[in-house]
Amino acid sequence: GQIAPAWHSAWTAACDEALDRVAQAYAHTPHTVLRLHGDCHPGNVLWTPMDMPQGGPHFVDLDDARMGPAIQDIWMLVNGEGVQKQQQLAALLDGYEQMRPLDRRDLRLIEPLRTLRILHYSAWLARRRDDPAFVQNFPWFGSDDYWAGQTQALREQCMAMDEAAF
C-alpha cells in the first residue's frame, strides 16, 4: 500500500524481473555462507588512532548481522566509478585473502546483492511510514518521484546483473 498508484505496475514488473535475475545468479553461483556484519559500509567502520591500544578499525551497528556469502561484507566498502572502483575492490580482496580465501565466483553476486539492498531499503522505509518522526526525516518517501527513481534503479540493476552474468 505504499507504492504510488501511478508507479505500482511498473515498479512491480521491475521488481519481479530483478528478483528473477537475483534468483538465477544465486542458482548459478556456488558460494559458501558464513557469519557477516551484514551492513558493512564505510559509515559503520570507526577508526581509532593506530598508536592507541586496540587502535585501528572498529565495526559498529551489528543489528544486521546475518549469514551470507563473504562478498556481501566487501562490496559495500567499494565506491566510485570504473578504475577507482576496481582498484578498491582488488585492495579489499587482497586484504581479505590474508585472513581466508575467497572464491572469486562470489564476485558475480555483487549486483544481485546491490539489488536486494535497494529493495530492502524501500521495505525498511515503508515499515516506518507511520512513525511521526519519519515524515520529518523522509518526506520524499512514497512520492511519484521516489517510485519513478526506484523503478529506474531496478531496471538499471537488471542491466548490471546481465552484464555481470556468469
Q: Of 16, 39, 106, 130, which is the active-site residue? A: 39
Rounded CA separation 71/162 (Å) = 18
Rounded CA separation 93/107 (Å) = 10
β-bridge mates for residue 33, sequence order = 69
Grid coordinates given for 7: 508507479
Our answer to whether residue 64 is catalytic in this structure is no
Rounded CA separation 127/35 (Å) = 26
Question: CA 83 → CA 57, 79, 87, distances in Å?
Answer: 25, 11, 6
Q: What DSSP line would sit under 92-151, residue for residue? A: HHHHHTTTS---GGGGGGHHHHHHHHHHHHHHHHHHTTTSHHHHHH-TTTTSHHHHHHHH
Q: Of 16, 20, 51, 61, which is the active-site residue? A: 61
Our answer to whether residue 144 is catalytic in this structure is no
Which distant-in-sequence residues (6+ apart) come within 8 Å of 34 by Cβ? 67, 68, 69, 70
Catalytic residue numbers read 39, 61
